[in-house]
Amino acid sequence: MKLLLLPLLVLTAWAADFSQPVLWEDLADLDIFRVGDTYYYSASSMHYSPGAPILQSYDLVNWKYIGHSVPTLAWGDKYSLIGGQAYIKGIYASTMRYRKSNRLWYWIGCIEYSRTYVYTSPSPTGPWKQAAMINTCYYDAGLLIDDDDTMYVAYGNTKLSVAKLSQDGLREVTKKQVFASSIPLEGSRFYKRNGHYYIFVTKPANAQYVLKASNPWGPYTQKRLQENIASPVAGSGIPHQGGLVDTPSGQWYYMAFVDNYPGGRTPVLAPITWGSDGFPAIKTVNGGWGRSYPYPTTPRPLERPTGIDTFAGTSLSPQWEWNHNPDPNHYTVNNGLTLRTATVTHDLYAARNTLTHRILGPSSTGTIAMTLTNMKPGDRAGLAMLRQDSAYVGVVKNGGTLRVTMVSGLAMSNTWATISTGREVAGVNLPGGTSKIWLRASADIRPGSGRTATFHYSTDGSHFHSIGNAFTLNNSWEFYMGYRFGIFNYATSALGGSVHVSSFELTN
């Protein structure tokens, strides 16, 4: 039976406090809200598919993946690595809410600064479908469903606007600029509390502001919530962006994220109080964001994030995302993952059907078990540390010989074009008759420079051998997304080969 590998730091049920970050995985631009006693979390996913991951919690600390709002990135061939690529395009800060009146879940997001797409579903777990396209960009959108069921979207950068949607939420009725700032403000989240409307916005990447008005159209007054507040994660950036959420008992919390590269952007949580002026304030510890706080509600631990995924059933679990849209004709999930070569290339960044998994911080190890019997000459398959600077441990078939190899130096330019396909740092020819191999990558993704990943292999699943040297992870922010494990299989000569991945194990 498959164990879900879930992005949470599991705490014992009797723990009085939780520690930061509440999820040590790359889940940025979050939108968070509550339905009954259940909390939901929607995040950015850029060029990964399916997009806009959805997580669920009962205590705001322990979370699990339950699905994606965008089943496929249907905005051009480049999102499928056909005739181009869409690295760091796709899904940025978007918004998700449940509408009780028609029992529909809505996801709204602007794609490539041009059009806004609306996806709906009868359940957060799906099926989701594209319901509308609005011919304007609701940049960094925040959806509010008002007490009278009217749907509004706050959006923009520096010049902030509000749009009123049609009764079904699929068209724009009217819009108005409601605030002009002297500093960059974005990441809108829209709320109503005690008869007042709030637009929650960030000054990237070190401050948070709150706009307050008596009606959706303003006028809004502005107050700074925090700037350059001390981070609860050593070495990380400043908590910012994110959103507000209340508990059933009426307590309020702010879930922000911190820049935590090379691992990405990870969420942190703090209690909120409300002042006599109607503005929120963060409950600080020694003037900064607390490294721990009491649990918001009774702790409800979920499944552990570590364990073995055997790819049981006929579909992937929701913690998995492909690098761009996959070619469905070249992979199968059925008591294991079969990856048939889908691209002839020498460039991992151009190879279709690379399956990715977020790395669990502060450090963790991913191990795959892979059967090699059906590889064809020229095929390359393995396990990568995937980002704009990448490395991998894999198997290449040279004629009739199988060779385990550690390849480093894969790199992209700052326009995300490949500038290097890498070179072999170390390699070993496998004994004749080898049909299965275990490949392992271990990564330290604590924030800062000089963090490394190492690679190992085994021919029996028990005794592992180091291969190559430590790979230094890139901790710059421009790629936005953090490092991921990437499972790949591509051809350099001709299609027709395949590998079978029987398991992925995550340990930390």
pLDDT at 289: 98
Phi-psi region of 248 (alpha: psi -120 to 50; beta: other; left: phi over 0): alpha
34 residue type, one letter: R
Share of the chain above pLDDT 70, in %: 97
Average pLDDT in the chain: 96
Q: pLDDT tens-digit profile of 421-440?
A: 999 999 999 999 999 999 99
Q: Read off the pTM.
A: 0.96
pLDDT band at 3 (very low <50, low <70, confident <90, very high): very low
pLDDT at 303: 84
CA distance 255 to 257: 7
Q: Strand locations in 263-341, DSSP E?
A: 265-274, 280-282, 292-294, 307-309, 320-323, 331-333, 337-340
pLDDT at 16: 78
pLDDT band at 177 (very low <50, low <70, confident <90, very high): very high
Residues 6+ away with beta carbon under 8 Å from 463: none
322 residue type, one letter: W
pLDDT band at 13 (very low <50, low <70, confident <90, very high): very low
pLDDT at 14: 40
1, pLDDT greater than 80: no
9, pLDDT greater than 90: no
pLDDT band at 6 (very low <50, low <70, confident <90, very high): very low
Share of the chain above pLDDT 90, in %: 96
pLDDT at 102: 98
Coil vs helix vs strand at 476: coil
187 residue type, one letter: G
Q: State the greatest distance between any 2 C-alpha atoms of the chain, in Å, as a whole number.
A: 76
Residues 37 and 58: beta-carbon distance below 8 Å = yes
Domains of the chain in start order, with CATH, are 17-294 (2.115.10.20), 307-507 (2.60.120.200)
Q: What is the mean pLDDT of residues 231-235?
A: 97
CA distance 225 to 354: 41
Q: What is the mean pLDDT of residues 397-419?
A: 97
Q: Look at the alpha carbons of 171, 177, 183, 188 in this order and tell me if their dihedral is positive or negative.
A: negative
pLDDT band at 90 (very low <50, low <70, confident <90, very high): very high
Q: What is the mean pLDDT of residues 201-212?
A: 98
Residues 408 and 420: beta-carbon distance below 8 Å = no
173, pLDDT greater than 80: yes
pLDDT at 234: 96
Q: What is the mean pLDDT of residues 482-498?
A: 98
Coil vs helix vs strand at 79: helix
504, pLDDT greater than 50: yes
Q: pLDDT tens-digit profile of 47-57?
A: 999 999 999 99
Q: pLDDT tens-digit profile of 19-31?
A: 999 999 999 999 9
Walk across the sheet containing 221-227 and list its strands: 186-193, 196-203, 207-213, 221-227
pLDDT band at 5 (very low <50, low <70, confident <90, very high): very low
